[in-house]
Amino acid sequence: MRADRLVAILLLMQARGRVTARQVAEELEISVATARRDLEALSAAGVPVYPQPGRGGGWSLVGGARTDLTGLTAGEARALFLLAGPEARAAPELRSALRKLTRALPETFRAEAEAAAGAVLVDPARWGEREAPRDARVDLLQEAVVRRRKVRFGYGGRERLVDPWGLVDKSATWYLLAGTADGRRTFRVDRIADAELTDLAADRPDELSLTEAWRETVELLERRRSSATATVLVEARLVPVLRDRFGRHLGPDVADAGDGRVRVTVTAHTPGALAEQLAGWAGYVEVESDGVDNVEVRAGLARIGRLLAERYG
């Protein structure tokens, strides 16, 4: 769209000070004639843009003027400041960047954007716990991802040299997605030892989508954690509570059991783990008796019950 091109030209001039029609054409992948027409259109529309002929000439903003065009809508600006949050006050680089962005925003956007910066606070510490200090390994790996440099570290008793692709924060636990000689791998950052940023250039697939790669990783891990399945009977009103507790480990199907209860499935990596998770629901759910996993889960629940009775009976 031409409006997008005009905005892009203004931002290009703001960044470089002076540009030629050929430079604009190369940057925006348009013809020199189109670039020249766009520049003339900006000037004709009253934008303080003027040409300077001769060697070393080009098009500039009058007096070094700066535009307030960032390409952001009011909603996008709000979202960006919400994402930064109050922590922006504590991070010098982020604070500086947001200050510059605020100056670049149109006046009508500024008040809402600045208010958004203080509207949301993320407290990663659970009740009864203190917030853990930021892991220095996260900063090092983030730098490696941005600079596209290989990282060397110890993991699982082996030394690794990997191409860092991206970092994921899942429930306050950080993961590194990386390329290795054996393909894509996922590493828990808190299990990484002696991380070292190297000067070796890292490879990152051009078509890589970090979101898609992480989704595939989660699905693979969940399948590995769901090798044991139990069928349980529970009152229908408790299904939402179970779903909140077990998440994707509670099957999507809910069948009427015919006695006022419904039949659902739950999964875990072992029958023993299932028994431990269901033990707290002993008065509300019943594991059916048929099926190998069901039998093992029932045996696990009975064992837990005996241990509790012996200690507290």
Q: Give the pLDDT mean for 219-230.
A: 81
* Structure confidence at residue 40 (pLDDT): 83
pLDDT cut 90: percent of the chain above it: 29
* Structure confidence at residue 189 (pLDDT): 93
* Structure confidence at residue 28 (pLDDT): 82
Which helix (H) or strand (E) element contains residue 155?
A: strand 149-155
| In the predicted structure, residue 9 carries a pLDDT above the cut 90 | no
| In the predicted structure, residue 132 carries a pLDDT above the cut 80 | no
* Structure confidence at residue 306 (pLDDT): 93
Q: Which residue has the higher pLDDT, 196 or 61?
A: 196
| In the predicted structure, residue 269 carries a pLDDT above the cut 80 | yes
Q: Are 277 and 291 in contact (CB under 8 A)?
A: no
Which of 63-67, 105-109, 242-246, 297-301: highest mean pLDDT? Answer: 297-301
Residue 263: strand, helix, or coil:
strand
Give per-residue pLDDT as tens, 97-128: 666 666 666 665 666 666 666 666 656 666 77
* Structure confidence at residue 92 (pLDDT): 66
| In the predicted structure, residue 303 carries a pLDDT above the cut 90 | yes
| Chain center to CA of 256 | 39
| In the predicted structure, residue 261 carries a pLDDT above the cut 70 | yes
Which of 165-174, 177-186, 217-226: highest mean pLDDT? Answer: 177-186
Rounded Cα gap, residues 172 and 170, in angstroms: 5
Rounded Cα gap, residues 238 and 128, in angstroms: 28
| In the predicted structure, residue 237 carries a pLDDT above the cut 70 | yes
Q: Which domains does the chain have, with CATH numbers?
A: 2-64 (1.10.10.10), 74-116 (no CATH), 136-222 (2.30.30), 225-312 (3.30.70)
Q: Which residue has the higher pLDDT, 150 or 80?
A: 150
User: Token pair of 185, please?
Assistant: 């791998």
Q: Which amino acid is at 69?
A: L
| In the predicted structure, residue 210 carries a pLDDT above the cut 90 | no
Residue 271: strand, helix, or coil:
helix
198: left (phi over 0), alpha (psi -120 to 50) or beta: beta
Q: Tokens 């250039």 — which residue? A: 201
Q: Give the pLDDT mean for 219-224.
A: 80
Does pTM top 0.95 for this prediction? no
* Structure confidence at residue 74 (pLDDT): 61
Question: Could you write out the DSSP letters of every residue in 96-130?
Answer: HHHHHHHHHS-HHHHHHHHHHTTT-----SPTT-P
